[in-house]
Amino acid sequence: MGQVRRAMVAATTTLAVVAAPAAAVAQREDADRLGLQERLDDVVAAGAVGALAEVRDDEDGVHRARSGVAALGTNRPVPLHGRFRAGSITKTFLATVVLQLVDKNRLRLDDSVERWLPGVVPGGDKIKVRHLLNHTSGLFDFRRTLQLPPSPEFLEYRWRTWTPAEQVARAVARPPRPEPPGTVFEYSNTNYTLLGMIVEKVTGRSYAKEIERRLIWPLGLSQTTMPGTSPWIRGPYPRGYAPVDRGGEKPDLVDFTEMNPSLFGAAGELISTTKDLSTFFAALLGGHLLPDHLLDEMKKQGVPGGRKYGLGLAWIDTTCGVRAYGNDGDALSYQSWAFTSEDLRRQVTVVATPNFDGDPDDAVEALLDEAFCD
């Protein structure tokens, strides 16, 4: 879902959590050659209950490391092949499906929202599919209409089922940005909720079914699911937490592993593993899912001065000049980063379960930089 966690951290910087003993284990003895274990320990020290990292290299194979614990109050290590809520990495999957439909001439990037969803969005005749993909529609983010942690009202959403129409209605009840669509980047989950609705209108199947039949099943992503309204994470996984203010001096950490993911929907419901995300991004950036001209469109920045973000695809530029494409995800109690170098030689995926006692972003950035620059 993205872009909210920093505000949550700022609101809970004094959060006290039980110190968790490190359970740092490298899958291969040479994992530390990449500095992977040390950097992952830094991520946990910066503000996580547990963390997992995987580096795939076309010459050296796979390196995995873990740090912290899988659950507070235990010594259980984070499972090396554990599943997690991937948050906004879902957007890259959905964007790929949208572009596959463009490739088949069933949809156009310059189609208006009004064409496919008449009457749903005021001014939808001026908002194009492209603007939804690259977050330049100007539409208000429905997530900003919700009570978010550490507000205790947030817990009322835990088992609630949300519909896309309901989320969009909350968003369009707020005014959009004053600038014309396509001119200003502003991250909004509403954009991808609408894209999910458009995919269903075009295909007659839900966005989740289209992601499954076009991406998950063909790529053999056996540990990746679109859970819909199911609150469970199947298989091994670390537990995730959210800060909740219950009237004490400091917020409490509440186990928020099980929850109804319709809260995230098309903008972030995906559950996956480091291996499956690496497989997906290798296929996407290797040209196996889209023709070159559409993959090139995916890599183009929407507007100057905005985030390094194209059509559902983000990128980072490291200190050594390596560019890596991928995305990051924030599912409140899980945070993830998955990037692949432009030359496809190295892939890095990081997962953390935050404790909201700090901000691990800088530590993750350092890990990514070192992993790609080694």
CB within 8 A of 328, min separation 6: which ones?
2, 87, 88, 89, 314, 335, 336, 337, 338
Q: How far apart are CA 139 and CA 171, in angstroms?
A: 7
Do the beta carbons of residue 128 and residue 135 sit within 8 Å?
no
Do the beta carbons of residue 208 and residue 149 sit within 8 Å?
no
CB within 8 A of 136, min separation 6: which ones?
130, 181, 182, 183, 184, 185, 186, 302, 303, 306
- The single residue listed with the structure tokens 């935050």 is 354
Give catalytic status of residue 88 as yes or no: yes
- 54: nearest Cα among 351, 365, 366: 351
- 344: nearest Cα among 282, 292, 290: 282
- Residue 243 tokens, joined: 């800060």
The conformation of residue 205, written as its DSSP 8-state character, comes to: S
Q: Count of CB atoms within 10 A of residue 343's CB?
A: 11
Query: Annotated catalytic residue: which of 67, 88, 333, 336?
Result: 88
Q: How far apart are CA 109 and CA 132, in angstroms?
A: 10
Residues known to be catalytic: 88
